[in-house]
Amino acid sequence: MMALLQRVAEASVTVEGRTIGRTGPGLLVLACAMRGDDETTAEKLAGRIARLRIFRDEAGKMNLSISDTGGGVLVVSQFTLAADTSSGNRPGFSAAAAPQDGQRLYEHLAQALRGHGLPVETGEFGADMQVALVNDGPVTIWLDVT
């Protein structure tokens, strides 16, 4: 599984004009399950996200995790993270998990993050979503646990 983490002041996801998920200060996690991933992979990714020290401490250094700060997490599925752009002008997505596996692992990731004591909201798997965010820093981190 892979994820693009963005440290945010706020973020939200909207489907058909209705906000379905949001967070204040915390993380926006764009997540993609890959072929061959399983629940253990999702749990490993959740642990990495929960412990990653990318928030400022009292000295202004990136030394705190989302678990330390009490911030929220907005998890949005994004299979396009699996894009293969190695040839041609049209990306391929064959490395992404099949939709039913992707949805199961996306939901498992969100639940595993909750298991770390984090407040988690989500987007809607497979929906046409509009994601808004105010990136804090900016801090954007790529995680791949496949």
Distance CA 50, CA 134 (A): 20
- Based on the residue annotation, tell me whether 125 is a catalytic residue of this protein: no
Residues 6+ apart with CB under 8 A from 58: none
Q: Which of 6, 23, 41, 79 is catalytic?
A: 79
- Is 78 an annotated catalytic residue? yes
What is the Cα–Cα distance from 3 to 27, expressed in whole angstroms? 11
What is d(CA 38, CA 5) in angstroms, rounded to the nearest whole number?
Answer: 20
Tell me, yes or no, if 103 is annotated catalytic. Answer: no
From the candidates 6, 14, 41, 78, which is the catalytic residue? 78
> Is 117 in a helix, a strand, or coil?
coil
Whether residue 94 contacts residue 117, with contact meaning beta carbons closer than 8 Å, is answered with: no
* Cα–Cα distance, 13 to 81 (Å, whole number): 17
Which residue of the set 19, 40, 80, 130 is catalytic? 80
What residues are labeled active site?
78-80
